[in-house]
Chain A
Amino acid sequence: MLKKPEITQLGLRNAAIQLRTYIALIALIVVFSILSPNFLSSQNLITISKHVAINAIIAIGMTFVVLTGGIDLSVGAIAGLSGMIAGGLIYEGLILNVFGVTIYYHVLVVILISIVVGVLVGLVNGLLVTRFNVAPFIATLGTMYVCRGAAMLRSNGKTFPNLQGKPELGNTGFPFLGAGRILGVPLSVWLMILLVVIGVYLSKKTPFGRYVFAVGGNEDAARLSGIKVKKIKMLVYMISGGCAALVGLIISSELVAAHPATGETYEMNAIAATVLGGTSLAGGRGSISGAILGAFVIGILNDGMVMVGVSSFWQTVIKGVVIVVAVIFDQLQAHGKKNERA
């Protein structure tokens, strides 16, 4: 959790460490706005925030999982799968060979189905972790391959194009999810804001959130305190799956096409955002707001470097360095705490 800094003797150094993500974010904004005059234009800010929203929404679900001490590698593939399911349902409908009919659903129903699929994959992840004691890394690695394969199988690897829908089939409106704006702000950004609010509320205000931290902090103690540890773990993977499915929908809506390779390496971006935001991969420490901050740092770094003209190869290198440096800071903070205690 990013705590309010307390100014004491060592306070300044500690405050700097605790606020590192804010400092990094502000530094990035200052540097890029000097180097590129267009950086702070409203058009550019909207573009960046759309990119950030995609990573941030996945990172919200990922943070819940990581807080319990788990990890979810399947999110990118879930995004791909959910896009393909929505794409298929809009483009070719649900073909029922037995009856010789094809059903086209309303877009809202399509969205709901796709998200339910994401949640179900999360349920499978949760079952693998809690009932079959598969390590989260392996369980979600497995579902990652299965989902990616299923996405490919859905269309034999092809793209579902033209997802505008047809008025006569009553399934128009899908592109609004990715391209629509309310008060000039893209819908995906509104969704991100909504999910951040829900995520922060869940994690800070509800018993569920408290239990998530408890499970990540000391699973045995949590169990003895009467917490249904398995249920909590199931829920976090389901939340993560749902968030990932929503991102798949946003992307395919933006492109007005669903491609089965959508979302590749998104799991890594989400983990990076989560870690940058100060969430410990060991579980029990971290915050949703931190993850959002992390997503902004990564997003601004990405887009800023593009605008400034850094080669894409260097971009990748720099991103890697930033993540590692952030974790080193995390370790410094952890050691600082240990010293305080001793």
Chain B
Amino acid sequence: MSHESDEIILEASQITKIYPGTVALDKASFKVRRGKVNVLIGENGAGKSTMMKIIAGVEQKTSGNIVIDGEDVDYHTPSEAIAHGVGIIYQELNLFPNLNIAENIFMTRELKKGKHSIDHKKQLTEAKKCLDELRLYVDTSTLVENLRVGQQQLVEIAKVLAQKARILIMDEPTSALSEEEVEILFSIIHKLTKQGVSIVYISHRLEEITHIGDYVTILRDGKFIDEQKVEDIDIPWIINKMTGGNKVERFETGRLPGEVILEANHITMPKEHGDGFVLKDVSFQLKKGEILGIYGLRGAGRTELLECLMGAHQGIEGEILIEGQKLSSCSIPHRIQDGFVLIPEDRKKLGILPNLDVRKNMTLSSLKKYTKRTAIDDTKEEKDVNEVIGYLRVKVPDCSTMITSLSGGNQQKVIIGKSLLTKPKILLMDEPTRGIDIGSKHDVFTICEQLAQDGLGIVFVSSEMQEMLAIPDRVLVLAQGRVKGEFTRDEVTEEKLVHASAIDLNAKY
């Protein structure tokens, strides 16, 4: 490495992290330089969150070592990490909305009067000093829930700094901030680095990185790719390194999409609280036997778009036509009847019923089919479930196994099976390969292909760029709730996806 001029405060080397079924980090290294903004960058799944969590003590490394100030360190919890001077600010803020600013800042390290009672007065004045440093001038007795998101973020920073953090990890800190708040944050970062605080900065906004960063480290597929001074590189270089500029193996098919089965016109979804939109004027068509990919960063509105199609939200503007017929009612049972079915993103939260077995999970959406008069026809149910288990190659001893004892990939297949039993026309798949092993991923792709050949229209949402290049016939790119690009299979490249999905800093929500 050629940048030995700046002192290295933390060095993580040869870090490997193995999750059941996947290798998240593969002998990856990362250097943090004192008083600099150290940017960690990579595609979704490249391992940057894992790296960050390991440095912050949230996750345990499988192997490798971390050196802070020339000393080997070994910590296992976030509080041990903070004792070594490493603090983290999460994207989802970890504050107690029902407590005031001072109480949040001194949580678990309360300033005390005597042995047991909290010295509220001192906490308030000390907290004020912390906030003044960050130029946040609000009363420290304000409840956190009454602060704007940007202000909450500053409180979170104040909290970490009050714990004497010398290394501050920020995970996409600007994703929820207004432009003004981003400027404030950047000036605070400048100030902190001048005081010798080292920043680890993670962001998807490439423009931002060249603006604020000093050093860039690129990870890809869990491996260290490159490290450079920001002044020596530009955005195309970053994209090239992130994607590896490689060609992707594609699923070759002889499919020819048929007539239009789904048409969505000007779908607009207002934000639940406050002004602005989650989705704005989204229109697209889907043909029979076509796989339409939807790409976008977190918060681009992908999941919300699928939920709108599924009838899960009320108060949506725009119209949805299925086989030329406009849909009038908006409820999930109706949409299932219309031929939609959704495989949700968060399998644990929205997909599986942990208290039921495989069979009951699978037939939940199509029970009417198995009901004679009032009772469920067990034999017919079991027969169909076993058929689907065979077709999807679910690894399960028998259909009365509890779903929670299955691996993630097999759980996902059960969820896919559930959707197939409703005899859908349109399959909405939201990150169907998230958190499943490579073998199951391949199975899911094959199933997709098979279903498309059988004439289903498939909407496939993924934040994995490789999947976007390999699977869909057409890719729609969403950014900030709007359609920002559409590419056919032959046109689409990683560079185009990165550019189209990038968040425009100047755009108003």
Contacts and interface: CB of A to CB of B under 8 A. Distances in A.
B365 A226 contact: yes
Contact of B376 (A206, A225, A340): A206
Given A223-B332, A341-B404, A207 B371 contact: yes
Contacts of A285: 355
B462 to A, nearest CB: 19
B404 A226 contact: no
A221 B351 CA distance: 5
Contacts of A340: 405
B35 to A, nearest CB: 44
Point out which of A201, A213, A214, A226 has the most chain B C-beta atoms below 10 A from its C-beta: A226
Contacts of B360: 210, 213-214
Given A216-B355, A217-B354, A217-B355, A226 B375 contact: no
Contact of A214 (B364, B405, B422): B364
Contact of B332 (A201, A218, A224): A224
Contact of A225 (B355, B364, B368, B371): B364
A226 B354 CA distance: 17
Contacts, number: 76
A133 to B, nearest CB: 15
Interface string B310-343: 1010000000000000000000110110000010
A220 B376 CA distance: 23
Interface in A153-208: 201, 205-207
Interface string B372-383: 001110000000
Interface residues of B, number: 29
Contacts of A207: 367-368, 371, 376
Contacts of B404: 341
A216 B356 CA distance: 10
A284 B335 CA distance: 26
A206 B371 contact: yes
Given A205-B375, A205-B376, A213-B355, A220 B349 contact: yes
Size class of the A contact interface (CB-based, 8 Å): 20 to 34
Contacts of B351: 221, 224
Interface string B418-441: 100010000000000000000000
A210 B376 contact: yes
Interface in B371-406: 371, 374-376, 404-405
B350 interface: yes
Given A206-B375, A210-B376, A223-B332, A217 B368 contact: no
A83 B405 CA distance: 48
Nearest to A201: B375
Nearest to A283: B355
Nearest to A67: B355
Q: Which 10 A-B pairs have the closest CB atoms?
A: A217-B355, A284-B355, A217-B353, A226-B336, A207-B367, A205-B375, A225-B365, A226-B333, A225-B364, A218-B353
5 contacts: A206-B375, A207-B368, A217-B354, A217-B356, A218-B353
Interface of B: 310, 312, 332-333, 335-336, 342, 344, 349-356, 360, 364-365, 367-368, 371, 374-376, 404-405, 418, 422
